[in-house]
Amino acid sequence: MNIFRLFGDLSHLAAIAILLLKIWKTRSCAGVSGKTQLLFAVCFITRYIDLFLHFVSLYNTEKVMKLIYISASVFTCYLIFFKFKATYDGNHDSMRAEFLIVPAAGLACLINTKFDAIEILWTFSIYLEAVAILPQLFLISKTGEAETITSHYLFAQGSYRALYILNWIYRYHYESHVDTIAIVAGVVQTILYCDFFYLYITKVVKGQKIVLPA
């Protein structure tokens, strides 16, 4: 474990917590893409499938973190699609998730480390995570604005994989560890946040709200 991965995981946890708090406190999921949250839940379930297959005692933080990610993302989907369904902005959350799931599944069958079920699921999860934020960014571009708290969520979510890139550089240099598929997908994922990062740094940090040119 290195500092980059530690802060990456903390940033990811913060993102999940910020979103849960925003929905719970405002009792509304306006401005939040339910599809993105569904895709994240699928990512966690397919990536941590080993938790369900051979249940091991929660002997280390990694198992606990995996359970937190899965339960928090499923709970977030419950809040969006059931509890606060009335506030879900369905007609702006209109990016076709199938256009993300099918290519990720196809690519996972073509480019993977080992052609076995668990590995394919893991690879699918990595590819899907890289593009899972697109419905959320699409929704913001359609509504033309993002609540400040939602911007903080996006910043934390984007920073997590950016920090993981630093973690991979560190591990390549000190442990000569390379996980090419995760690295390529992580770079693509982080690039998708670039224009949001620019808006966040230039606007939100100064206390302004993000308003996209409609």
Partner 1 sequence: GYYKYKHDEL
Shortest approach of partner 1 to residue 136 CB, angstroms? 20
Q: Which one of 49, 65, 67, 149 is in contact with partner 1 (CB under 8 A)?
A: 65
Angle formed by the axes of helices 194-202 and 148-175, to 10°? 120
Q: What is the DSSP string of 165-190?
A: HHHHHHHHHHH----HHHHHHHHHHH
Nearer to partner 1 among residue 30 and residue 68 (C-beta): 68
Shortest approach of partner 1 to residue 159 CB, angstroms? 15
Q: Mask: binding to partner 1, 131-170, rule CB under 8 A, as x and -?
A: ---------------------------------x--x---
Nearer to partner 1 among residue 167 and residue 190 (C-beta): 167
63 binding partner 1? (CB under 8 A): no
Q: Give me the amino acid identity at 128.
A: L
10 binding partner 1? (CB under 8 A): no
Q: What is the DSSP string of 114-179?
A: S-SHHHHHHHHHHHHHHHTTHHHHHHHHHHSEE-HHHHHHHHHHHHHHHHHHHHHHHHHHHH----
9 binding partner 1? (CB under 8 A): yes
Residues at the site binding partner 1, with contacts judged by CB under 8 A: 5, 9, 12, 62, 65-66, 69, 113-114, 119, 122, 164, 167, 179, 182
